[in-house]
Amino acid sequence: MEYHLKNREEVERFVIEQVLTTSEAIEILGVTRQRMNSLISTGKITPVKKLNRETLFLRSDIEARKAEQDGLRQKYRPFDN
């Protein structure tokens, strides 16, 4: 996926709308912090940037993982819903 950001306002809007912190990603996925760390270490989710105390993710990556996760839950746990 390519992004063409022409000015500062577009960059700011992109970051606000498309970049998630670890806490936001955990909330969307509905997983624990420990499970999130496991997903990162196994390469199932790839952060776009790691800082000292925070890791950043693209919203599209998290939403793709959420869809995959929901599909697996439907397949292997059909009676939970």
Residue at 72 is within a domain: yes
**What are the tens digits of pLDDT across the range 7-40?**
999 999 999 999 999 999 999 999 999 999 999 9
- The total number of structural domains in the chain stands at 1
Residue at 4 is within a domain: no
- pTM equals 0.83
Residue at 3 is within a domain: no
pLDDT at 13: 94
Tally of CB atoms within 10 A around 45: 21
Residue at 59 is within a domain: yes
CA proximity to 17, closest of 78, 67, 60: 60
Residue 54 domain boundaries: 15-76
Query: ∠ CA(27), CA(32), CA(33), 5° rounding?
Result: 95
Q: What is the CATH number of the domain that holds 46?
A: 1.10.1660.10
Residue at 54 is within a domain: yes
Amino acid 55 reads T
* 26 touches 33 (CB < 8 A): yes
